[in-house]
Copies of this chain bind each other. A is one copy, B any other.
């Protein structure tokens, strides 16, 4: 059999992964959800046909969203995660025993149910006692929060479909309000390479910058995302991701396969063309 999952990065570029089995395909109220067993990438999750994660490289995305802020502020106890139905960010957060509370707001319960059943690699810590899952709209959820979180991680889909609200100025403004003084906002920030992704990146940066006094962008190599060059946003009310990096992180003994302290410093050094795009956002 010759079965391939293909994602079009633009109408002129596409990436394909050979599939063994189509495990499940469901249509939720919000999106189409597919799980495949692939050759070479383990199990993979797609939402509306876009690849969300592969077992082979999801660690890169989830580590980079989680450990960067955790290493900057060693006093993060209350965390809000928006989206992230696969549980990967939650798995990384639960490695910190001093986190007290993890609120997770995922609009689509079916994504969580599917991941619990078919993607234990990421969903394995969703039952941690500190995790409280709210099946709600992230934008609405955060609207009523004030000075409540040390960290908000926005692990959203792209800025169209169910994830669209999570790229609005209103949402970023509400996140600002929901964060404590030392609070940090991390968001998946699209990619600088293909024109549509680059535009989404610019728009997101412009909005975040208009709300947060500190708004930086960092990068990681995620081979199964479009271009493999993926960006994240680090926004805060003052904390600097490098200047305030807590050198004590290493002593926590947290095992990572991508993240380390040198890379933490290195990943904020962006190529000139990306800096240009952000400056002109």
Please list the residues of chain A having a beta carbon within 8 angstroms of any beta carbon in chain B: 4, 10-18, 38-41, 57, 60, 193-194, 219, 221, 223, 227-229, 256-260, 262-273, 275
Chain B residues, CB < 8 A from A260: 269, 271-272, 275
Chain B residues, CB < 8 A from A257: 271-273
The contact of A266 among B4, B18, B259, B265, by CB within 8 Å, is B265
Chain B residues, CB < 8 A from A40: 10, 12-13, 194
Chain B residues, CB < 8 A from A258: 271-273
Taking CB as reference atom, which chain B residue is nearest A17? Answer: B13
The contact of A229 among B12, B16, B221, by CB within 8 Å, is B221
Taking CB as reference atom, which chain B residue is nearest A261? Answer: B269
The contact of A60 among B10, B256, B259, B271, by CB within 8 Å, is B271
The contact of A263 among B13, B229, B263, B271, by CB within 8 Å, is B271
Chain B residues, CB < 8 A from A39: 11-12
Name the distance in Å between A93's Cβ and chain B's nearest Cβ: 19
Assess whether A15 is in contact with B12, with CB atoms less than 8 Å apart: no
The contact of A228 among B223, B265, B270, by CB within 8 Å, is B223
Chain B residues, CB < 8 A from A223: 193, 227-229
Taking CB as reference atom, which chain B residue is nearest A221? Answer: B229
Closest A-B pairs by Cβ, 8 of them: A228-B228, A266-B269, A266-B266, A12-B40, A223-B227, A221-B229, A12-B39, A12-B18
Task: Report the Cα distance A268→B265, complex, angstroms.
Answer: 11
Taking CB as reference atom, which chain B residue is nearest A276? Answer: B257
Assess whether B262 is in contact with A269, with CB atoms less than 8 Å apart: yes
Name the distance in Å between A279's Cβ and chain B's nearest Cβ: 13
Taking CB as reference atom, which chain B residue is nearest A271? Answer: B258
Known: A258-B272, A266-B268, A271-B263. A41 touches B16 (CB 8 A): no
Assess whether A271 is in contact with B16, with CB atoms less than 8 Å apart: no
Chain B residues, CB < 8 A from A229: 221, 223, 228
Chain B residues, CB < 8 A from A221: 193, 219, 221, 227-229, 271
The contact of A267 among B18, B256, B264, B266, by CB within 8 Å, is B266
Task: Report the Cα distance A19→B262, complex, angstroms.
Answer: 40
Knowing that A219-B221, A259-B272 touch, tell me 9 more A-B residue pairs with CB under 8 angstroms.
A12-B17, A12-B18, A13-B18, A15-B15, A57-B193, A193-B223, A223-B228, A223-B229, A258-B272
